[in-house]
Amino acid sequence: MTDLLETEEPQPKKKSTLVPTIAIVAVLTAIAGGGGWFLGGMLAQQVTPAPAVEKKPEPAPAAEGEGGEKKEEGLPHLATEENGVVQLEPITSNLAFPADRWVRLEVALMFREKPDEKIAEAVHQDILMYLRTVTLQQIEGPRGFQFLKSDLQERADILTEGKVSNVLIRAFVIQ
């Protein structure tokens, strides 16, 4: 038994690996930082700053013509009563389910003949009432959007007795 005890040699103490690990991490960090600085310098040379935009003076308010009507300057709007199109006020409403979802819809009506403001307002109110009965599942995706558009067209046809030829959806947002 004494032979066994004498043959075992005392094991040397393990050296601390903390110092080499810190040194390796510091070297790798320096290499990564230098590489990032180098690549950033290369990419920054390729990006050209946007040209400075000169501030144009704002146009003067539209001059009033005869009868107190304002003359519009610039590009003409496509949705005008002369074209038979009436732009309705934006419609914002919550859906039937889930009640915490909101929908914003901007619609224009294309009339077959001369536009009628009273009819346009009636269609506006009808669309608002209809949107409060719609669920999110009914209007999700492209197929749901097409169903919504066809429902709005059908409701406008019935309400206006065919005076509205098309319902144009200009903006449609669900939040």
* pLDDT one-digit tens code per residue, 21-37: 999 999 999 999 999 88
66: CB partners within 8 A, 6+ apart: none
The whole-angstrom separation of Cα 151 and Cα 160 is: 14
pLDDT value of position 84 = 85
* Together in a domain, 83 and 166: yes
pLDDT of residue 18 exceeding 60, the answer is yes
* Long-range CB contacts for residues 78-84, cutoff 8 Å, separation at least 24: 79/108, 81/114, 81/115, 84/110, 84/111, 84/112, 84/113, 84/114, 84/115
* Cα distance from N-terminal residue to C-terminal residue, the chain: 84
Collapse the DSSP code of 132 into the 3-class scheme (helix H, G, I; strand E, B; otherwise coil) and give the result: coil
* Together in a domain, 96 and 153: yes
Total domain count, the chain: 2
Asked whether residue 99 is assigned to any structural domain, the reply reads yes
Asked whether residue 151 is assigned to any structural domain, the reply reads yes
What's the token pair of residue 110? 């294309």
Q: pLDDT band at 75, cuts 50/70/90? A: very low
User: What residues make up the domain containing 122?
Assistant: 78-174
* Together in a domain, 93 and 40: no
- 102 near 70, Cβ under 8 Å? no
* Together in a domain, 29 and 113: no
Q: pLDDT band at 57, cuts 50/70/90? A: low
* Together in a domain, 82 and 31: no
Asked whether residue 158 is assigned to any structural domain, the reply reads yes
* Together in a domain, 83 and 164: yes
Give the whole-number percent of the chain exceeding pLDDT 90. 53
* Together in a domain, 112 and 161: yes
* Together in a domain, 38 and 103: no
90: CB partners within 8 A, 6+ apart: 104, 105, 106, 171
Asked whether residue 68 is assigned to any structural domain, the reply reads no
Which position has the token pair 């509205």? 164
Backbone torsions φ then ψ of 95, nearest 5 degrees? -85, 165
Greatest Cα-to-Cα distance within the chain, rounded to the nearest angstrom: 125
- 166 near 97, Cβ under 8 Å? no
pTM confidence score: 0.55
Asked whether residue 105 is assigned to any structural domain, the reply reads yes
What's the token pair of residue 112? 């077959």
